Structure 1
Amino acid sequence: MSKVLSQINNFQKEHVFSIASEEELLQAFRKRDQKKLVLPESLKYPLNVSSYFTWREPSGVYTYLVFKMPNWDLPRGVAFKKTAATGDPVGGLCSWCHAYGTSEDIGMLTVNMSSDVSSSYYICQDLRCIEKIEDASNLSGKSPEKNISELYHKISKLFENISSYKPD
């Protein structure tokens, strides 16, 4: 078990970053997302982040994600909007971490690309994907490195899609 834990810790050290101030955190988000931002009240700066930073605003409508790949100059942030579930609760599989859960756990989160275009992702509504990968790996006795690497790739693709989107 300790071998797996040391592999987890060694792997995560590759994605550690710091946010020096509230202004720097705000600047990580696109202008359209900054308008929706509700920052947690208890943040202390500098904010040292391992892997990524996420939080929900009090109403639960928006979930925020701040992420930085090692080759990026600055961290990037995005505001996800929770899509209201209709009908009876059902189970689902997160497309990022492959965790299974109810519609309370896994659901459709959308990112506004423009005023009339959005992208949707069927993922963990609390964005705790990395913790779920680590928990599953600890239970199975396997290294999480491959799954964490795939998660980082999927998150970086989300940000590539956002930054390369050009409205017609």
Structure 2
Amino acid sequence: MQSQISSFQNEHFFSISSEEELIQCFRARDQKKLILPDNLRYPFNVQSYFTWKESSGVYTYLVCKMPNWDMPRGVAFKRTPSSGEPTGGLCNWCNAYGSSEDIGLLSVAMSANVSNSYLICHDLRCIEKIEENATRAGKSPEKHIHELYHKMAKLFENISNYKQD
């Protein structure tokens, strides 16, 4: 089972050779919000996808590459502050359950006036949560990981197909 999982995830393997290459993964709109991690060493390899939060926790960044893409793509998510008492939520990407500290609305700016919001894990550790849950249940995570990649691809498809009125 482990070799099947590895070959499945190898489809999403990519390398980033420089800071400039990482920045170029993002749209110009997101590059303005980009705060790169201090401890990043180039070149680096990514097995599935790469994510990090900037220090204030307002922005979470995602870089991934689908097999049919020429190069990796990145997006900056803005955390929507929760109001009131903590609540529970279910991540739309990995189906993990957690408090509003763990799962909440992350939005993507489509234009100056339009954004799309996703109810997902704030730390975007969805693949790790899928693998942990599958291991506990004694099942293969492949189907759920495939669904996660499909949802990520849809996110980037929505971003690239957005037409401003």
In structure 1, which of residues 48, 69, 83 is the aligned counterpart of residue 66 of structure 2? Answer: 69
Q: Take 1:42 and 1:48, find their aligned partners in 2: how far apart are those partners?
A: 15
Number of the residue aligned with 2:113: 116
What is the CA-CA distance between 1:12 and the residue it aligns to? 1.4
Query: Given the alignment of the two structures, is residue 97 of structure 1 paired with residue 94 of structure 2, yes or no?
Result: yes
Query: Given the alignment of the two structures, is residue 39 of structure 1 paired with residue 36 of structure 2, yes or no?
Result: yes
What is the CA-CA distance between 1:91 and the residue it aligns to? 0.6
Equivalent runs, 1:145-160 vs 2, <5 Å: 145-160=142-157
Q: TM-score, normalised by structure 2?
A: 0.98
The Cα offsets for residues 57-101 of structure 1, whole Å up to 9 and x where unpaired, read as 000000000010011001000000000001110110000000000
Considering only aligned residues, what root-mean-square deviation do their CA atoms show, in Å?
0.8
What is the CA-CA distance between 1:9 and the residue it aligns to? 2.3
CA contact (8 A) 1:93 1:106 kept: yes
Q: Take 2:145 and 2:58, find their aligned partners in 1: how far apart are those partners?
A: 26
Q: Take 2:49 and 2:154, find their aligned partners in 1: how far apart are those partners?
A: 15
Q: Take 1:166 and 1:98, find their aligned partners in 2: how far apart are those partners?
A: 30
Q: Take 1:10 and 1:32, find their aligned partners in 2: how far apart are those partners?
A: 34
Number of the residue aligned with 1:9: 6
CA contact (8 A) 1:110 1:119 kept: yes
Total equivalences in the alignment: 165
Q: Take 1:46 and 1:71, find their aligned partners in 2: how far apart are those partners?
A: 22
Higher deviation after alignment, 11-20 or 70-79: 11-20
Amino acid at match of 1:36: K
Amino acid at match of 1:103: S
In structure 2, which of residues 9, 25, 28 is the aligned counterpart of residue 28 of structure 1? Answer: 25
The Cα offsets for residues 8-42 of structure 1, whole Å up to 9 and x where unpaired, read as 32321221001111101000000010000000011
What is the CA-CA distance between 1:45 and the residue it aligns to? 1.1
Q: Which structure exhibits the higher relative contact order, with contacts defined as CA atoms closer than 8 Å and separated by 6 or more residues?
A: 1
Q: Take 2:131 and 2:6, find their aligned partners in 1: how far apart are those partners?
A: 10
Number of the residue aligned with 1:142: 139
Q: TM-score, normalised by structure 1?
A: 0.96
Number of the residue aligned with 2:47: 50
Q: Percent identity?
A: 70
SS of alignment partner, residue 135 of structure 1: helix
What is the CA-CA distance between 1:46 and the residue it aligns to? 1.2
Unpaired segments of 5 or more residues in structure 2? none
